[in-house]
Each structure stands twice: as structure tokens, then as C-alpha cells.
Amino acid sequence: MTLTADERWDLIEKISNKVVTFSKFKHTLKDALGELTVKPLTGIPIAIAVLYGFWSVFSSFAGTLCTDGFFVKLFDGHFLPWIQSVFPGKGGWFYYIFVGDPAADNCFEAFGVLTSGLFVAIGVVLPAIFIFYLMMALLEDVGYMPRLAVLIDTIFHKIGLHGYAIVPSILALGCNVPAVTATRILETKKQRFIMMTLLAIFIPCGAQLGIMQEVIPESIGIVLLYLIFGYFLFGFILNKITPGKSPEILIDVPPYQKPLWNNISRKLRMRLGGFFKIAVPFVLFGCAIVNILYLSGTIDWLARVLTPLLTGWFGVPGETVGPLIAAFLRKDLAVAQLSAIEMSKYQMITSVVLVSIYFPCVATFVMLLKEGWKNLLGSLAVLVTVIFLYGGLINVIWKLLGVQ
């Protein structure tokens, strides 16, 4: 039996009359609050307040309370002198790799696997990652994240993405590894390519933010400003040159609700588990590799070869070649290394931006490869171009301002 279009509509009406209950929709206070958070005029100040609270809690918990309050004292005052005295073979290469500089009086400068490696992983990054993911899970569970996606949708369309791109973007502020996986919520290959490239280049991970908070607290705003500007500038360019479609989306915005602690603790456990499995081994391994490169003279050789480029084009000292190599293994480690190099405030800002936009850390690299080698090669091509153009541009800006 075949039905005409009119007959089908009649049938649909009959069925819906039987199964759907109609009543007058009454706005609740939650609905009204929800509307305020998605309308640009009211939603933008609310978003600024939420991000303000996010950053304030992040920096005071991770920086003031955990790292400065307890871990610096534990590692520099107790652990470092102890391990320097009991570790055998002082002066030998094995000691240098695992304990680092025997004369160092703090874990940032020692640069051994068991000193800087452990301090960065446990003393700096762990509290930063913990509080970041805790607040992220809270915002997700309350129902604020979909509203932020709606609010920011128009801006993201300018760079070929849509509002849900906020999810991988914010996740990447914790760690790029889950963020690369989260790009699968975007529909087309073009969108996924743009998102992966932008987050690998311009979004500093929680670990890096934690270290930046420790090493350059007064300049962190300028560094982030450069990265945000680069994110949208190169996103705009990529949208213009990348073939493919950027479709619209329909977002289902759930009502605001009380967070469920069960959900939050499960998310937190899962994400922290990922950090311990992937990030911590890479920090320790990264320290060992960089120390081996120093011991073998490779970094000194590279510094000599690359000094004209680093000083001439980017305006940073030749010694930054070491941290740039370390950045491929762990970016947080690289920023920690930069703190030990003598340079001006502006050179430090350029160096930190360079480390951020330089190759994604090896863990992210592996995740990008999993998403397809064509994407990875494309991202790397963009990345090399961005480093040279953007790194050079920052140097030019400092020169024009007369501060370099």
C-alpha cells in the first residue's frame, strides 16, 4: 500500500495527537538564566566572569597553594639536597642524567630526571592538571559548556569551525592529547584539520600554563594574547585556503542542573589517569634525552649552527635551541629550561611563544598521526610556516616598539 504525501501527514497528525501531550510552555528561572548566558550582550560579560573565576582558582590553587606553598619547599629544601648527597657517582654522566647539576640549589635549575623531571611532573603539573580538569568537569556538569558553544558560534564560523570547537579548544588548555580526540565532534575533514592544527600550535597545555605561571607570571598575559591573536589570524587564513565544507550545526542545550559528584569524580579519575600514563613518562624521558644531547655536545653544536637564525630572525639567544629541542618531548619542560637562560623580558616572551607554537609535544604528535598521516603532514607544513612568520613578526613588533 502506498500513501500520498497528504495521507502521510494526516497519519502523522493522528499518531502525534495520540502520543504527544500539549500544554502551555512556562518559562522557569533556569530557562531565563540560560537565555542570559547565550545572548551576546549579557552572555559575553558572564563568560568573562566564568573565565576570570576559572583562571583565578587555577592560579591560586596550583601556584600559590600547591607549588609555591608546599612542593617548592619539599623538592628544593628536602628532596634535592638529599638526592644530591646519596646518589652515587657524583661528576659522572649517569649522575648528570638523573640528578643534573650537582651545584644547583633548586629543582628548576638542576635538570635531572629525578630532580627537575619529578618536580615538574608532580610539583607543578599535577596540581595544575587536577584543578583544571576539576573545574572543567564542573562547568560541563552544570551545563555551561553548551551555552558557551552557542555564544561563541559566530566567532568560530569566521575560522571555518562552529561553537562546539570550544570543547577541544578548552580541553587542549588541559592537555592536547584528549583534545585531538575531541576534534571528532566536528563534522568535516576540513574542520578537523583546522582544529587539530590550531590546537597543536596555539593552545598551551595545562602543564605549560602551570610552568608559565611559575616562571613568567608577569608576562603570561602578553604570551596568551599573542597566542589567541595567532589562533584567530591563522584560523582565518586556514579557512580561506583549506578546501572543504564548514556546515552549520544544531546544538541541544540541556537545562542548568546541579553537578553530580559521581560524574565529576569519574571524569577527573579518567583524565588524571591519562596524565599519569602519557605525560609523566614523557617528562622523565624528555629530561633524560635532553641531558644525553647536552652530554654528547649535540645541543652546543645545534646552538652554534642555529644561532644566526635564532638571534637574527627571532631575536632570542642561541642557547634557546636546547629548550626548543626539549619542547618536542615536553613543552612544560622547555619553558622550565628557558627560565635558566639569561635574557630580557621581551626575549623571554618571544621564546615562550616560540616554544608554544613550535612542534607539538611527542604525545600530541602520536595522536595526530593516529588521526591520519595526511593531516599530520598538513599540520606540520602549516606549523613550520607559522613559526617563521609569527616568530619573526613578534621580533619585528618588539623592534618597532624599541624594547628588544
Per CB under 8 A, contacts with other proteins among 353-392 are none
Q: Which of 7, 9, 60, 345 binds other proteins (CB under 8 A)?
A: 60
**What is the maximal distance between C-alpha atoms in the chain?**
90
Q: Given the rule CB under 8 A, which of 63-71, 157-165, 189-197, 343-351 is the region that contacts other proteins?
A: 63-71
* Cell numbers representing residue 191 in the block: 574542520
One residue of 57, 145, 185, 237 binding other proteins per CB under 8 A: 57
Residue type, 53: G
- DSSP-derived secondary structure letter, 254: P
Binds other proteins (CB under 8 A): choice among 64, 85, 154, 257: 64
Residue 376's contacts (CB-CB under 8 Å, 6 or more residues apart) are 365, 368, 369
For other proteins, the closer CB: 39 or 245: 39
Residue 362 to residues 145, 260, 279, 286, 287, Cα–Cα distance (Å): 29, 35, 10, 10, 13
Residue 133 CA: distances (Å) to CA of 53, 167, 205, 305, 337: 14, 13, 12, 41, 26
Nearest distance, CB of residue 129 and other proteins, angstroms: 17
Provide, rounded to whole angstroms, the least separation between the CB of residue 167 and other proteins. Answer: 22
- Rounded CA-CA distance 347/353 in Å is 10
Determine if 65 is a binding residue for other proteins (CB under 8 A): yes
CA–CA separation, 172 and 363 (whole Å): 13
**Rounded to the nearest whole angstrom, what is the least distance from the CB of residue 279 to other proteins in the complex?**
24
- The footprint of other proteins on this chain (CB under 8 A) covers a number of residues equal to 28
Judged by CB under 8 A, the chain residues 37 through 56 that form the site for other proteins are: 42, 45-46, 48-50, 52-53, 55-56
The amino acid present at 262, given as its one-letter code, is N
What residue ranges in 148-264 does DSSP mark as E strands?
Answer: none
Query: Please, which of residues 71-100 interact with other proteins by CB under 8 A?
Result: 72-73
Nearer to other proteins, 20 or 32 (CB): 32
Q: Which residues inside 221-260 make contact with other proteins, applying CB under 8 A?
A: 221
Q: How far apart are CA 190 and CA 183, in angstroms?
A: 11
Among 16, 35, 260, 273, binds other proteins (CB under 8 A): 35
Residues within the interface to other proteins (CB under 8 A): 27-29, 32-33, 35-36, 42, 45-46, 48-50, 52-53, 55-57, 60-61, 64-65, 68-70, 72-73, 221
